[in-house]
Amino acid sequence: MKTIFGIVLIVLLWYFLSFVIGSSFVLPFPHEVLGNLINQLSTPRFYVSLWNTVWKTLIVLFLSSFFGIIFGFFMGMSDTIYEIFRPMLMMIQAIPVVSWLAFVVFLWGVGWRGPILISTMAILPNTVFTTTSGIKNIDRKLLEMVRLYKVSRSKIFRHVYLASIVPFVIAAIEVSIGNVWKVVLVTEFLVGGNGLGVELAWARQYVDVPRIYAITILAVILGITTERVFKIISRRMLERWEMY
């Protein structure tokens, strides 16, 4: 009920600001944006663009999570590896998305590979550092105790290391989900060959402001939905994990 109240409040505020501004080129009314969104949902081209953005986003999430967890685990286990790769990851983290454009354009041109690479580079460092923090926060006394009682390495890995990093990994992926849709759409807008970001670029080209807002709202809905689905899946995985 509170969520519905919040949505209604946002819509009312949107109507008020649209009325005050008085220009559909700056802030169109909600019903104009909704009508545009419905029109787009009735065209096959829109679903092709949507699918192109969805599969890129899923690939970016997989790559950043898979490699981020692996790199983060080894960086947390070894101070030497941490000190070697930390400056590189901090540099990657500090590089703006726009700065990757020249590299991608000259390497591949416009297409699907650029958005995937740039988005992965933007998301990866956060996953690595979060996983590293999970490993480094393991209680050293607990490790000494399990080794003293000669607990098998497989059990140590599962019940100590994995159990310690799981909350950190889940938090990192949740943050990544919140950012990945924005990053993918921006990179598609700049160097993508297809996808919702490209649709945004065409809407900008034709000064179709309601279409821009409609695609933006859809991206927000996709981001929130993805995050909620991941929370449900991760909660069930944690429940099964605790059973074993």
Q: Which domains does the chain have, with CATH numbers?
A: 29-242 (1.10.3720.10)
The model's pLDDT over 138-153, given as tens digits with 9 standing for 90+, comes to 766 666 666 666 666 6
Taking Cα atoms as reference points, which of 112, 103, 130, 120 lies closest to residue 183? 120
Q: What is the pLDDT of residues 81-120, one digit of tens each?
A: 888 888 898 888 888 877 888 788 888 878 888 889 988 9
pLDDT of residue 242: 56
Which percentage of the chain shows pLDDT scores above 90?
Answer: 9
- Mean pLDDT, the chain, whole residue set: 83
Contact 32, 24 (CB under 8 A): yes
Rounded CA-CA distance 79/90 in Å is 16
Kindly state the tokens that stand for 20.
């005050």
What's the confidence (pLDDT) of residue 243? 47
Residue 185: name the closest of 208, 207, 217, 209 by CA.
217
